[in-house]
Amino acid sequence: MNPLDGIAVGMAAEKLVTITPDMTVGHVVPGMPAVYGTPMMILHMEMAAGAAIQPSLPAGYVSVGMMVSIRHLAATPVGRHVRAIARVIQTDSRSVVFEVEAWEGHRKIGDGTHRRGIVDLAEFERRFGVRNLTVTVA
């Protein structure tokens, strides 16, 4: 059985967030503006991608990030609401490719692609010595 058998082009999910001070580049890099940081935007895009496919993976399998190619198009201040969207555009024998976007209202603030690998969690833990891994899809 291929763990990607339940994954189909078009599957999608969203991650909704309100920008907080700890999500800003200024929180991490002194002297920088208090606007939504690119790494946080990517994290939220990855979370949306994981949520899009996790319910369709067999028990014991998870997806892990492998690649991102993202453009951060506009600054977003603290207090604004962002919607990160991920949609499956391609699958191969071991991974899934997503089109990802981030929006603040009607304004696109980011876009790109993201690839996630599908792994057997028990095998992953054995191979890399990882224990007590908690999987949460928010």
Q: Do 96 and 90 touch, CB atoms closer than 8 A?
A: yes
* Angle, vertex CA 58, rays to CA 53 and CA 59, nearest 5: 115
Q: How far apart are CA 76 and CA 1, in angstroms?
A: 44
pLDDT along the chain (138 residues), means of 10: 93 98 96 96 98 96 97 98 98 96 98 97 87 56
pTM of the prediction?
A: 0.92
Q: How far apart are CA 101 and CA 114, in angstroms?
A: 10
Q: How far apart are CA 135 and CA 63, in angstroms?
A: 10
